[in-house]
Structure 1
């Protein structure tokens, strides 16, 4: 595994400074676009003395974060909101995941959270939920049907939000959602069906920060480290950072 540049993004950066920090993470250019909802799952293993996190490397041909180690995740599918679950999101987490604006809704929060679970199955072969009969006609959920796993939302935790700055060929409004490894009901030995991530690895958070990871990923890992130090159970409703460009400055709000 290669060692990255150890760069993070920081509050107060200008657009130029941010472009330089993220120059190897994104293809620049493209027309102005509104960011699309996306979901990323930070899967944590607390079985040892150090909390470990799951990361996988994206193929070098991707325009978005090529060759970088990332958490499983992807663009939100609104239809995921209709997938049945055995438990629901904690109320304290629900609206923070949806976002406090006109398009915020319980269905939107469910879609974002369930997209994170689905993407973790597709990219890493890990099915989060509870053993039991599960039915769905949605193509992305047939692995849960085949393996008898009903997705569960109760222990998901919102830990950060970040909007891709303008000037990239892809823009996402990403929610970083944490879950625990012991919530994985089935782990497929050959990984997920999409093969989008390679070199899947579990690493202590401090070591994960030395990989070739996007600058925003390193920032989120630093935020997560600080939270785990005082809130190891990741209690529902705890304050979380929100990163975005505002008036040519990269700002950090707390939500």
Structure 2
């Protein structure tokens, strides 16, 4: 699953009568700032998907139970934890930690990139599934490497709704890479490194373009941890931008 703010036309909105509670989700912007122009890694979704077919997105998806139990090195920065806890139910270190781990896990599942540290050996007793496969590579996910940069909630009356937290991580934090994850039969059929202008010219979900512009401005301002984090949600049919 990837980038979780839907854009539907008025006819589709009218068909959706149940106002679903948004599911917690997380997505990852992978940044390469080693050159003169920062770049971001974008993945193209399979054309056969019902959800955003053919769109370029960041890897991401829903938080699952394993994200609450996976061991990790480092910790989410306190300023990020505090902001992750604003305007949400049951805030706390555990929730912030699970959101960041979900972004790391989904990135692994969809791109084969393992962000973390290979200095401590394999994590013991990882949750079954993707975290078991992640740990088998001898890598601990590193929570200190991620930065919380944006949040957006799918508007009401949509068939799927997500409360998505956008994280950023530097490409240099990759500890391992599994080949063959991206291909013609995968959720992401292609990965491309593009600068921000090139990224904005791709076929993007609207919220993805907005977040790219937000992070572009954040980098221009020095990417300092105290810079505000935007929060997008809909009020009376119009998007509202707050700062966390």
RMSD of aligned C-alpha atoms?
2.1
Please give the alpha-carbon distance, in whole angstroms, between the structure 1 residues aligned to 2:45 and 2:30: 17
- The TM-score normalised by the length of structure 2 is 0.88
Q: Structure 1 residues 34, 222: CA separation in 2 closer, same or farther (over 3 Å shift)? A: same
Which of the residues 148, 152, 156 maps onto 1:162? Answer: 152
Please give the alpha-carbon distance, in whole angstroms, between the structure 2 residues aligned to 1:74 and 1:179: 16
**What whole-Å deviation, never above 9, does each CA across 1:4-42 have from its counterpart, x for those lacking one?**
xxxxxxxxxxxxxxx9xx348xx6543320111110000
- The TM-score normalised by the length of structure 1 is 0.85
Which of the residues 201, 207, 212 maps onto 1:216? Answer: 207
CA drift at 1:202: 0.9
Which of the residues 54, 59, 66 maps onto 1:72? Answer: 59
Structure 1 residue matching 2:132: 3-state secondary structure? helix
CA contact (8 A) 1:93 1:237 kept: no
Give the aligned length.
232
Please give the alpha-carbon distance, in whole angstroms, between the structure 1 residues aligned to 2:150 and 2:72: 23
2:139 maps to 149
What 5-or-longer segments of structure 2 have no aligned partner?
A: 1-5
Which of the residues 41, 47, 50 maps onto 1:54? Answer: 41
Please give the alpha-carbon distance, in whole angstroms, between the structure 1 residues aligned to 2:25 and 2:87: 16
Which of the residues 201, 220, 236 maps onto 1:247? Answer: 236
Please list every run of at least 4 consecutive aligned residues from structure 1 whose deviation after the TM superposition is greater than 4 angstroms.
none
What 5-or-longer segments of structure 1 have no aligned partner?
A: 1-18
CA contact (8 A) 2:218 2:227 kept: no
